[in-house]
Amino acid sequence: MNFQRHNNILELNISHNISNTSDEHTLAHFGKRQHMIQPFLFNGGPTGAITTYPIISAGVFAQILVMAELSSMIPLSGGQYNWVAILSPPSLSNLLSYSTGWILVIAWQSASASVVWLCSQMIIALASVNNPEYSSKIWHSTLISFAIVALGVLVNTYLGRIFPTLESLAFILHVVGFFVVLIVMIYLAPKADSSLVFNNFLNGGDFPNDAQSVLVGIMPSMYSFIGVDAATHIAEEIENSARVIPRAMIMTVMIHAITAYAMMIAVMFCMGSVDNVLTSTLSFPIITVFEGITDSPKGASVLVAIITVMTISGSIGLLATASRMLWAFAREDGVPFSSHISRIEPHTALPVYAISITACVSMLLALIGLSSTTTLNVLSGLTIAGFYSGFILSASMMLWRRLTTPDTNIPWGPFRLGKLGVPVTVFALAYSFIGWLFSFWPSVAVVSVKTFNWSLVVYFGVMFLAMGWWAVRARKTYKGPKMEISSH
């Protein structure tokens, strides 16, 4: 497979998406994906969302500093599972690397599926607000998800040559759309009293205390940062990646944290009645906010349409990234039928089997919506659980190496945390564990079959099957990358 290599950070389009070619879809619109407004209002309210976002930003920034150091030291496209393979004790290297690889497969597959489902909810909301007689059914969302997945497959295969152009256009729309939405809100909307924004905790899930409610409600904010490390998965396709990739990841987090927080504050001051948003029957309730601001269903539809196009573009990029991650892990013989999944179609130089499997997984996960009213919560929770547990494994191995290995024996890259390494890593691990734990939490204290967070079952179910495959075959065939690091 002939990958085009790229020379500098500018070619990564660092501004919430890092994508220029069909190999570089990996950060497409992660940084500015629209927040799921109802969940963090339901648990935490405006005050909970605004006060916790800086803490989340600090936690994610600590994560990205650790991963930037790791990607500078070990610039391999497998990312976390490669890092774990190299940094782990030799006796545990293969097992821990294999486990991390499966965790990342879960993370990227669920991330792809979750954004597809979010797109379907936006389209349903647009149809509902423009046609009052339209009565949406849950299976409508499933079929729309299938159509979005089909579009993603089409663009990633037959239209692969024009994908860079489409991404460039989407990037322009992304930047322009951000300012259009922000300016419209600030200019047209009446502003709420500051006490309604900064002193308005809500505990809609009836949890025993507000703190637990807020912790459950921060999941959408955590989810908005998911994928900011995706540049690591194109490390082998970038010139001077040991320097470029760390800068790309750090810049992405910084830009996203600032712009997203500005947008969050604007929404909180301009959305009007919180009750109207929480009781909205629309599948994408931000349209209720925009309708109140513009006093026009058409005006609200234009704003949501901009967000929808950006998010669909992101879903197409995510399909490429998730399939690339699956392909890379199959290349290491980490999944069943690896010889097929790791194939590259000779005419297009694309991992067509991996793309097809990723599309099928997204469609299968969309079927959750037929039996659960919290599909987006399930998929976003599964995404957070995967990414955060993958980080916990790789960062823990890095911390172990720091504490047991002389600095002179560690192959540091150009970007290094130095004396800040241990405290930053410990803080990032503590934050990640809390995020991982609450990613499985339901949004209400009294749980039913429909409100249960099924991400818990899916996550541990897949890992159970992965361990079964390890026992049957993978322990004999899986070999992660190796690099000797002396502890003496």
Arithmetic mean of pLDDT, 208-213: 86
User: How many residues can be counted in the chain?
Assistant: 488
pLDDT band at 332 (very low <50, low <70, confident <90, very high): confident
Burial class, 373, CB count within 10 angstroms (exposed 0-12 / middle 13-18 / buried 19+): middle
pLDDT for 39 equals 59
pLDDT score recorded for residue 226:
83
pLDDT at residue 47, rounded to an integer: 85
pLDDT at residue 274 greater than cutoff 50: yes
Q: State residue 371's pLDDT score.
A: 62
Min mean pLDDT across 27-36, 227-236, 367-376 is at 27-36
Locate 331 and state its tokens.
């290349």
Give pLDDT tens digits for 21-58: 333 333 333 333 333 445 567 788 888 888 899 999 99
Q: Look up residue 10 and give its two tokens.
A: 């500018």
pLDDT confidence band for 373 (50 / 70 / 90): low
CA gap 287, 421 in Å, rounded: 43
Is the separation of the CB atoms in 445 and 274 below 8 Å?
no
Q: What percent of the chain has pLDDT over 70?
A: 87
In terms of Cα–Cα distance, which of 303, 305, 307, 279 is closest to 291? 303
Q: What is the pLDDT of residues 342-360, one digit of tens each?
A: 888 887 788 889 999 999 9
* pLDDT, tens only, 137-153: 888 888 999 999 999 99
The candidate with the shortest Cα–Cα distance to 116, out of 237, 33, 3, is: 33
Report pLDDT digits (tens) over 445-478: 888 877 788 889 999 999 999 999 999 998 988 8
CATH code reported for the domain at 13-477: 1.20.1740.10
The answer, yes or no, to whether residue 88 has pLDDT greater than 70, is yes
Q: Please compute the mean of the pLDDT values over residues 277-286 and round it to a whole number.
A: 71
For residues 392-403, give the mean pLDDT.
94
**Average pLDDT score over residue span 275-283:** 70
DSSP for 356-406, please give it: HHHHHHHHHHHGGGGT-S-HHHHHHHHHHHHHHHHHHHHHHHHHHHHHHS-
Provide the pLDDT confidence category of residue 5 given band limits of 50, 70 and 90: very low
What pLDDT does residue 25 have? 36
Closest by CA to 66, choosing from 400, 398, 487, 403, is: 398
Residue 435 has pLDDT above 60, yes or no: yes
In the structure, what pLDDT confidence band is assigned to residue 487 with cuts at 50, 70 and 90?
A: low
102 band by pLDDT with thresholds 50, 70 and 90? very high
How far is Cα 137 from Cα 123, in angstroms, rounded to an integer?
13
pLDDT, one tens digit per residue, over 167-196 is 778 778 878 888 888 888 888 877 878 777
* Between residues 307 and 425, the one the model is more confident about: 425
Model confidence pLDDT, tens digit, residues 71-82: 999 888 778 888
Cβ–Cβ under 8 Å, residues 362 and 113: yes
Query: Distance between CA atoms of 300 and 439, rounded to whole angstroms?
Result: 31
Q: What is the pLDDT of residue 146?
A: 95
Residue with the bigger pLDDT between 273 and 15: it is 273
As a whole number, the mean pLDDT across the chain is 82
